[in-house]
Amino acid sequence: MNPQIAPSILAADFSNLQREVELLNASAADFIHVDVMDGIFVPNISFGIPVTEAIHRHATKPLDVHLMIVNPELYLEPFVKAGASIVTVHLEACTHLHRTLQEIKRLGASAGVALNPHTPIELLTEVLEEVDVVCVMSVNPGFGGQKFIENSYTKVANLKNMILKKGSKALIEVDGGVSEQNARRLVEAGADILVAGSFVFKAPDPIAAIASLKSITI
């Protein structure tokens, strides 16, 4: 089994966004990961709906939209209309997570829920059957290029067990500090989707960097 790869456009050259999207189109990437930040849920502002829509206009890969925003339930429809195939909300940002996940699916997208590094997987117990993707944050969200948090291996392995026990079909995505150094161990622990920003876009050959993650076989 090979992992699915979701390069994060956050690490791309925003002044050449079309060229960067075309690069990802030509790669082995399975998704384009789109990091939306509001400056409130996380201490950084990235971009929002119009930029997501512009990425979608040039993308031949599905968009995996990671909403690092408060009140994400207010913006589900605009992001699905802008082209999101997966909409991921943060558990910590949702008072009515069950309702929000159902709404994402009603709009025709896959429903993702992201967990900050401090958030225990057990908080998913009652909603796991509504979830298509669990995004395990392996850095504190807000910035690309941060150091991978080592506890994430155990968290992914425990989550995999929980998913298997419950007979859930949820995929595990890992986001933050992913590189050739940790990718194999993450896939062995149960990761299905690897997000990678800096590792891809800071590489001399981003296409080869994506291929190297994609070629991991367990």
Could you give the residue numbers annotated as active site?
A: 35, 175
Between 56 and 66, CB nearer to Zn ion? 66
From the list Zn ion, ligand DX5, none, partner contacted by residue 29 (C-beta under 5 to 8 A by kind): none
Each residue 108-147 as x (binds ligand DX5 by CB under 6 A) or -, in order, gives -------------------------------x-xxxxxx-
Q: Which one among 20, 30, 35, 173 touches Zn ion, defined by CB under 5 A?
A: 35
Part of the chain binding Zn ion (CB under 5 A), chosen from 51-59, 168-176, 185-193, 210-218: 168-176
Number of Cα atoms under 13 Å in the Cβ half of residue 201: 24
Between 144 and 190, CB nearer to ligand DX5? 144
Q: Site size for ligand DX5, by CB under 6 A?
A: 22
| Residues pairing with 142 in the sheet | none
Which DSSP symbol is given to 69? S
C-alpha to C-alpha distance for 183 and 110, rounded to whole angstroms: 24
Residues 6+ apart with CB under 8 A from 6: 29, 30, 31, 32, 33, 64, 173, 193, 194, 195, 196
> By beta-carbon distance, which residue lies closest to ligand DX5?
197
| Residues pairing with 67 in the sheet | 36, 89
- Which residues are near ligand DX5 by CB under 6 A? 8, 10-11, 33, 35, 66, 139, 141-146, 175-178, 195-199
